[in-house]
């Protein structure tokens, strides 16, 4: 019987994992979902005590500080949750010889490229969020040899706050919205990412290291918004604007496409097209 801990259980990826396990239970596996109330991963002594009382075969860390702009002025907390807490979990899971799965981001890259990023391409985060997530990756790999890093991008789901839910809300409230049209990426349905994580757990082939997962295809935020508009049959007018027309505290990568070859060939993970995935949610 495999025991699997999921931290950040109330976030959009944690909730997506709950949904997937409900739909397709994994034989001989017990999942334990925690959030800050049950397990404060920023408290090292709390983590040690929790792991002393509970034994796991897998630890999936879905907890993160994801408020990209706020991280610029809230660096200490972002560092604590995205890096230090990852170190605590990596150490605690390694002590139990448990496999550690850490979720990371396209923000570890500068976004100045023009071809999909491979796992071993040079990193160069632009802001605090990307830097702290990259530190988390390094801690995970350093403190637990049985680690998978899963980088993803443009995550959305039926849960939590995300671009799709924001757009649907604005479509009801406004007659026109401005959306950035010069950042390129691939929207990722968190339910698909949850599927990929569960495939790794089920396969159990011990091919540790860094992997990329996002949905297939590419678009700008403006094209993403247009597709949401089409599928939700909204009459709103969407105006494309450049990044310079919407200044934010944190600089965004202009190019966020990830190469998924490694995860597909290693685990046989299927990667749906972003439009099909969006349709399945809406």
Give the active site residues.
Answer: 129
Other C-beta atoms closer than 10 Å to the C-beta of 262 total 18
User: By the 8 A CB rule, do 21 and 74 touch?
Assistant: no
**Which residue from 62, 58, 71 is spatially nearest to 11, judged by alpha carbons?**
62
Cα separation, 168 vs 163, in Å, equals 9
Cα separation, 42 vs 81, in Å, equals 6
Angle at 231 between CA 226 and CA 236, to 5 degrees: 50
Kind of pairing, strands 147-152 and 184-185?
unpaired
Residue 144: Cβ-neighbour burial (10 angstroms; 0-12, 13-18, 19+)? buried
* DSSP summary character for residue 244: G
Phi and psi at residue 102, to the nearest 5°: -110, 130
């Amino acid at each position: 019987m495999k025991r699997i801990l999921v931290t950040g259980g109330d976030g959009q990826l944690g909730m997506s994992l709950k949904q997937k396990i409900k739909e397709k239970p994994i034989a001989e596996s017990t999942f334990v979902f925690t959030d800050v109330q049950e397990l404060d991963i920023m408290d090292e002594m709390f983590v040690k005590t929790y792991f002393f009382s509970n034994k796991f075969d897998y630890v999936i860390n879905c907890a993160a500080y994801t408020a990209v702009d706020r991280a610029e002025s809230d660096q200490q907390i972002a560092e604590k949750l995205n890096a230090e807490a990852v170190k605590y979990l990596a150490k605690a899971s390694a002590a139990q010889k448990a496999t550690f799965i850490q979720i990371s981001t396209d923000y570890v890259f500068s976004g100045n490229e023009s071809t999909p990023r491979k796992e071993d391409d040079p990193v160069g985060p632009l802001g605090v969020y990307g830097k702290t997530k990259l530190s988390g990756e390094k801690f995970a790999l350093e403190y637990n040899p049985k680690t998978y890093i899963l980088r993803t991008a443009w995550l959305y789901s039926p849960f939590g706050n995300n671009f799709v839910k924001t757009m649907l809300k604005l479509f009801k409230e406004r007659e026109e919205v401005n959306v950035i049209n010069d950042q390129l990426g691939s929207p990722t349905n968190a339910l698909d990412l949850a599927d990929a994580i569960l495939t790794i757990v089920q396969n159990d082939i011990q091919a540790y290291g860094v992997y990329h997962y996002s949905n297939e295809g590419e678009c700008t935020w403006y094209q993403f918004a247009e597709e949401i508009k089409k599928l939700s049959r909204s009459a709103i007018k969407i105006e494309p604007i450049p990044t310079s027309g919407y200044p934010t505290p944190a600089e965004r990568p202009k190019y966020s496409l990830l190469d998924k070859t490694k995860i597909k060939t290693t685990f046989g993970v299927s990667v749906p097209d972003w439009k099909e995935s969006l349709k399945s949610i809406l």
